[in-house]
């Protein structure tokens, strides 16, 4: 092989590697995870699991602890959040509420109640954009607006937990989140609960969640769902009867890296 051809091959190899790396970093990932069955942890695949573990992000807790971490996404309010808070208070269950700017502006009393009753209020962005498609200035603005509003309402600094809207993220977004001191929180259990025109009743929600429950579950529920609000009073005691404990996500952060069983 002559030197001229060898030099061209080296340059081409470098360019291909560079393009590959850039593409990987810009890859828009829509989080998804199979249904858990028989009380066993679901497995998203090695690639997804590695990405999460390496970037101050969580989607599940340890497999050897029957803990449940309830999280609620609050894009807007349609009358169900007070009932959710009532039930959580009655059963002494902590939760993490991810709020948007719209929710905070329209319902400051609910945000304050969440904080006063010992729940964590997390950042779901101000305008609910796809964070994998915004520039850094927009990313920081989306998070800062929520932080400022939370402090205005509660007088407290916001705990740095971020749930990217619709679970969309990429390496760039994860890096920006880490720069701001955020943990990115995804989930290991969810069902189609967000369409307010397709609510199927409390028993449906109860059965959907119960069938998919597993140790270490980070549960995503939408506060706009009447099914969720109405099933909790029955669901919480049943899960406790099955040996599960409800913990704040802060508890998970004190543990070692979650152990996942394939």
Distances (CA, A) of 36 to 73, 110, 181, 185, 251: 21, 32, 31, 18, 22
Among candidates 75, 172, 79, which has minimal Cα distance to 125?
A: 75
Distance in angstroms (rounded) separating the CA atoms of residues 117 and 150 = 15
Give residue for tokens 């705990």: 159
- Write down the catalytic residue from 73, 119, 128, 227: 73
Give the number of other CB atoms < 10 A from CB of residue 240: 14
Q: Are strands 67-74 and 57-58 parallel, antiparallel or unpaired?
A: unpaired
Q: Is 124 a catalytic residue?
A: no
Residue 35 DSSP symbol? P
In the block, tokens 């796809």 appear at 130
Task: Enter the tokens of residue 119.
Answer: 């729940």
Active site annotation includes 222: yes
> Are the beta carbons of 203 and 183 closer than 8 angstroms?
no
CB count in 10 Å sphere of residue 214: 21
Name the token pair of 4. 């001229």
Yes or no: say if 96 and 249 are a contact pair by the CB < 8 Å rule: yes
Of 119, 124, 214, 222, which one is the catalytic site residue? 222
- 166 is written with which tokens? 């619709």
| Residues annotated catalytic, as ranges | 73, 222
């Amino acid at each position: 092989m002559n030197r001229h051809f060898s030099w061209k091959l080296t340059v081409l190899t470098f360019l291909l590697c560079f393009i590959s790396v850039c593409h990987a970093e810009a890859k828009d990932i829509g989080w998804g995870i199979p249904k858990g069955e028989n009380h066993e942890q679901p497995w998203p695949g090695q690639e997804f699991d590695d990405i999460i573990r390496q970037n101050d992000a969580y989607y599940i807790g340890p497999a050897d602890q029957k803990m449940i971490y309830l999280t609620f996404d609050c894009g807007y309010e349609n009358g169900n959040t007070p009932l959710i808070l009532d039930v959580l208070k009655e059963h002494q269950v902590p939760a993490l509420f991810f709020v948007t700017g719209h929710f905070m502006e329209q319902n400051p009393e609910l945000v304050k109640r969440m904080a006063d009753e010992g729940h964590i209020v997390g950042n779901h962005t101000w305008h609910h954009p796809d964070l994998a498609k915004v520039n850094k200035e927009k990313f920081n603005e989306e998070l800062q607006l929520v932080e400022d509003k939370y402090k205005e309402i509660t007088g407290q600094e916001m705990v740095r937990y971020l749930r990217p809207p619709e679970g969309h993220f990429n390496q760039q977004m994860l890096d920006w989140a880490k720069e701001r001191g955020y943990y990115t929180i995804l989930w290991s259990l969810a069902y189609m609960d967000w369409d307010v025109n397709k609510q199927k009743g409390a028993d449906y929600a109860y059965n959907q969640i119960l069938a998919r429950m597993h140790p270490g579950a980070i549960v995503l529920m939408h506060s706009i769902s009447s099914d969720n609000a109405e099933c909790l009073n029955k669901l919480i005691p049943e899960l406790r009867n099955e040996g599960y404990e409800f913990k704040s996500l802060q508890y998970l952060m004190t543990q070692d890296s979650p152990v996942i069983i394939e």
